[in-house]
Amino acid sequence: MAFAATTHDEYVAQVNPICKDAAQAAKRIPKKIKSTGDPTADSLLATKAFGKLLAKTTRRIAAIPPDPADADAATAWIKGLRLQKSQIDTFLSAIAHGNAKLAKSMIRRISATEQRNRKLAANLGLTACARGGHAG
């Protein structure tokens, strides 16, 4: 259960473990996907699972109120995480509907959003959230 973060250090102390948990869960995703025999389909299933993990992680983080001095930066970061989830959903939908042009465009957008999110997390001192390859 999260408690209100009254200082920057308390916010960091509550949010970093959420990102660490998400990173560990993200590493397990490929092993949890039941292989279809098609590497592309398996990759899409993993992407879908990652999107779900990102949404869950974002909800957990958003439930923790930041230090008022960090509120704008934290809000921008959480907004970026939600955008990344939306972009993943758009990518998966584009694939499902055979729209290769949109899917390719979404890959670039997802990557740019993820990089921006990492920088925002780093600026907040959220070292575990600023690392790549996870849902935070």
Question: Which tokens in the block code for residue 70?
Answer: 């960090």
Q: How far apart are CA 66 and CA 25, in angstroms?
A: 24
CATH class of 8-130: mainly alpha
pLDDT tens-digit readout, 75-117: 999 999 999 999 999 999 999 999 999 999 999 999 999 999 9
> Does this model's pTM top 0.85?
yes
Question: Which tokens in the block code for residue 110?
Answer: 């997802």
Other beta carbons less than 10 A from residue 66's beta carbon? 25
Q: What is the mean pLDDT of the chain?
A: 93
Q: How far apart are CA 44 and CA 95, in angstroms?
A: 9
* Residues constituting the chain: 136
